[in-house]
Amino acid sequence: MSSASLWRVAVDAPISEALTYSCEEPLQRGQLVNVPLGRRKVKGLVLGPATETPEFAIKSIDSIDTDYAPLPDSFVKWLEWLAQYYLHPIGQVVQSAFPPLRKAEKHRQSKRPPVIPQLEADTNLHLTDEQQKSFEDIAKHTGFSTHLIFGVTGSGKTEIYLRLLEEVLKRGQRGIVLVPEISLTPQLIHRFARRFGDKIAALHSQLTDRERTNQWWDIVEGRKSILIGARSALFCPVADLGLIIVDEEHEPSFKQDEKLKYNGRDAAVMMGKMLNCPVVLGSATPSLESWKNAQDGKYHLHTLRRRVANRALPDIEVIDLRHQKSDDDEKKKSIEKYSHLPFWLSPDLYERMGEVLERGDQAALFLNRRGVAQMVVCPACGHTRECPNCDISLTLHAHSHLICHYCDYHENFKTKCPDCKEAELEAIGLGTELLENDLTRLFPGKIIARADRDEIQNRADLEDLISRMETGEIDILVGTQMIAKGLDFPKLKLVGLVLADVGFNLPDFRATERSFQLITQMSGRSGRHVKEGESPGKVIIQTFNVEHESINFARNHDFEGFAKHELMARAQLNYPPAGRLVSFRIQGTHLGKVEETAGLLARRAFALKTQFPQQYGSIEVLGPAEAPLSKLRGQFRYHLLVKSAQLAAVNPFSRQLLGDQDWVPSGIKILIDIDPMSLL
């Protein structure tokens, strides 16, 4: 057999390296093939000719999948980088580059509305001086460069994206626009459709497999020129790519939590480098990683400090919930006047809501928690109802059933305590459902809508809610972080953050950054359409922790001050972006085996440091320790963290540490997360 007929193939299996197969037909890199693996047939991607002849019997490639043209070489290089950087089997990475269904399959005509509606075209808006400068400075670049548009909420970042894409289309090239799944609203898609008509395709999780497949082919075969989607849209091979845009680049949802744990923003920057096209990142609250890259000169920074049409940023008022009770006589009278208010609603927020609703405007209340109450507890013995699969309290919904928000375990709410059999369980805490019930009593006759995952379960629900907010049919919107991102409602003049403290004290080094981003993004929904000279929108933040740095910087609209403060704190501990971090999660159904394996992994890590002090001397090993969510979906979980200020050392160390995993006991999984976004 001549060596010319041997090929390296990345097969769809948990195998880290490509396998060697023979083929008499001519092949090329990037072709999809069908190959035998054990007793089954699997898909594989040809990576190139094999340079060495293995010493064992070589199987033949069964067939070439002629449905798909070979992937371009630069795109295959990007897939190889993903596998290498995120330590994930190359053959499993490759499978994301193809649609879920075959093109030729017959299918019933869908009765759903079209993915991209046909809308009346709009005209270009007048750019502010800041927008014009940013647009011109970015448009000068046609090869690879990375740009960060740092613009306050309502400063017109989307209009800059639209102008840049127009330039790309004029050159006969095409573009990708990534947005967080939660921001893929009809509002955004409509805005692009009004500007670019039938040139748009979209890929996101709310589409059926058939819709996804059709949209994929529309882009691949050149019928569409702009692809809008969530992070996975990057895997669609777009020919003649001239621009990649990542909006709300700070969003944690750009990071995939399962299987290939990649970050869509970072993967987009690397794709721009390999395909030689500009990458534009945009945010009112950039991630500290991107901000540091801009400060270090690796990214071009473009700043928009003013809202369009000189609209004022909202006034932010902080209410100290600790001072709602008082011995002062005047205060006592005031408290009596407001004695009908629920515990979560301050008189200030209640009065402001009344004023706004009186004028015919809208108010939105934000709480990062679903359900009626956070937990149920027995006041006599302290028993709390916990999920049998997860180490977490169950949440009460509709006063009738308890739900785990991690594994979806349900049980009926029985008031009698199952532990002491005497007292009755009481609901404590706060949830969006409880807010809605209280507001219905306080504001009779007003239309109240709730936006959380219980109420909004699909695209149609979200479209209906947005349309009712836009027409002013809804008076008060209550929601979770689903309503904090990118939505633009002309009549929304008051935003209340009911309990800003949720999230302050999570055991995660990014907790303060997340809180700042959420407060700023939610505040940015208020007063986006006030005219010059009109009173600005209003934001009221209720908190037990008024001194918290995320509130202090957010109330002054001071991202740069916050970033400087937080970067200094991170640098002292080598946390990203000052250092690089890798998380190893050891999990299994047997606690003893999980603990034992975690200890063995730690010993391997320290032995590796000792063996190679020059390469790995800077590596810090933290743990192993129980994960904050120590049991989830029936699996016990331990964490081991690896971090270093020497960025290049962490990946090779992690690869060596895991090895081929033949030392890991059966029933135990070790999941590796490069650059983790959450440590829960």
pLDDT of residue 501: 82
Q: Are 45 and 78 in contact (CB under 8 A)?
A: no
Distant-in-sequence, close-in-space partners of 350: CB < 8 Å, separation ≥ 6: 338, 341, 442
**pLDDT score recorded for residue 1:** 43
Contact 598/586 with Cβ under 8 angstroms?
yes
Chunked into runs of 10 residues, the chain (680 residues) has average pLDDT values of: 76 93 93 95 96 84 95 98 97 95 63 76 87 97 97 93 97 96 77 93 90 95 96 96 97 93 98 98 97 98 92 91 65 74 93 96 86 72 85 82 86 88 82 92 96 80 88 94 77 93 78 91 87 86 91 94 96 94 97 97 97 95 91 94 94 94 94 92
Contact residues for 496 (Cβ-Cβ < 8 A; gap 6+): 349, 352, 353, 363, 364, 365, 366, 539, 540, 541, 542
The number of C-alpha atoms within 13 Å of 341 and in the hemisphere containing its C-beta is 16
Domains of the chain: 3-72 (no CATH), 129-309 (3.40.50.300), 311-370+430-572 (3.40.50.300), 375-428 (no CATH), 580-674 (3.30.70.600)
* pLDDT for the residue numbered 583: 96
Q: What are phi and psi of 142, to 5 degrees?
A: -115, -25
Q: How confident is the model at residue 371, as a pLDDT? A: 54
C-alpha angle 546/549/553, rounded to 5°? 95
Amino acid at 434: L
CA distances from 141 to 130, 181, 265 (A): 18, 28, 19
- SS3 (DSSP) at 183: helix
For 317-373, the DSSP string reads: EEEEGGGGS-S-HHHHHHHHHTTTS-TT--HHHHHHHHHHHHTT-EEEEE-S--SSB
Distance CA 226, CA 249 (A): 19
Q: Are 418 and 383 in contact (CB under 8 A)?
A: yes
Task: Give CA–CA dist 142/299, Å, rounded.
Answer: 15
Q: How high is the pLDDT of residue 373?
A: 53
Q: Which amino acid is at 249?
A: E
Cβ atoms < 10 Å from Cβ of 328: 9
Are 241 and 191 in contact, with CB atoms under 8 Å apart?
no
Q: Give dist(CA 75, CA 239) in Å, integer.
A: 10
Pairing of strands 279-283, 226-229: unpaired
* CA separation for the pair 51, 552 (Å, rounded): 60
